A = this chain, B = another copy of it.
Amino acid sequence: MQPGQLNAVGEHAGQRSVAAGDQRVIPEATVARLATYLRALVGMGELGVATVSSESLAAAAGVNSAKLRKDLSYLGSYGVRGVGYEVAVLTEQIHKTLGLHQNRAVALIGLGHLGQALAGYAGFASRGFRIAALIDASPALVGTQVHGLIVQHVDSLAEVVERESIAIAVVAVPAVAAQDVCDRLVASGVTSILNFAPTVLTVPPHVDVRKVDLAAELQILSFHDNRKAARPDCAGSDAAPATKVAVVR
């Protein structure tokens, strides 16, 4: 995974020991996988599956079963030994753990090609998010309707964030504008940002940034492809779950 793109997440061990105030620490790597497990579980639920073993859920999520069980153990004990997990129960637990019960409002800033595509992306709605505001700086776009929402001017950002109680924003503006937009978002009270602009965003420690860098993903693939081409063996040995790669210089 893109591993650890977390910017700043405060660590806080256990105060608040009220009624069943049971506390756990969930490793970051586990959190990143919970979303995948949830997706697989929802799919199974729709197919009418009532129970899954760690083995089959792991297969559906593309991980091994030991990792899956370890991950789920951080949430608590929701499986039944000898049987497996109830799809409904586990779905609900992960859903709750990810904080999705509140159908969060999201603001989308930047309505270029990518922004427009994101605005219409059904996956957001179906997986717990509601795009509550579209924002851009271009006079040509402001006031127009995109996928059922009127585009607002970036100057009314603070107002919109406040009105819609937005905590999460998606930034899809050009790189040069990203830090400025980010600063405005932070000033408006947004605490989580998903950044598609190919820039490093600087934020205060209470704000969390994740980035999606499309070209970087291809470059990583390119690196591995390069290795393969250099050594045209491979392909024979099944199951080669290595994490390092030999490089010839």
Contacts and interface: CB of A to CB of B under 8 A. Distances in A.
The DSSP consensus for interface residues of chain A is mixed
Interface string A217-249: 111111111111101011101111111111111
A198 B10 CA distance: 30
Nearest to A2: B2
A99 to B, nearest CB: 3
Interface in A150-207: 167-168, 170, 191-194, 198, 200, 202, 204-206
Contact of A9 (B35, B198, B224): B224
Contact of A240 (B11, B76, B128, B167): B11
A235 B215 contact: no
Interface in A55-69: 60-62
A113 B121 contact: yes
Contacts of A120: 113
Contact of A168 (B21, B98, B112, B221): B221
Contacts of A24: 246-247, 249
A194 B213 contact: no
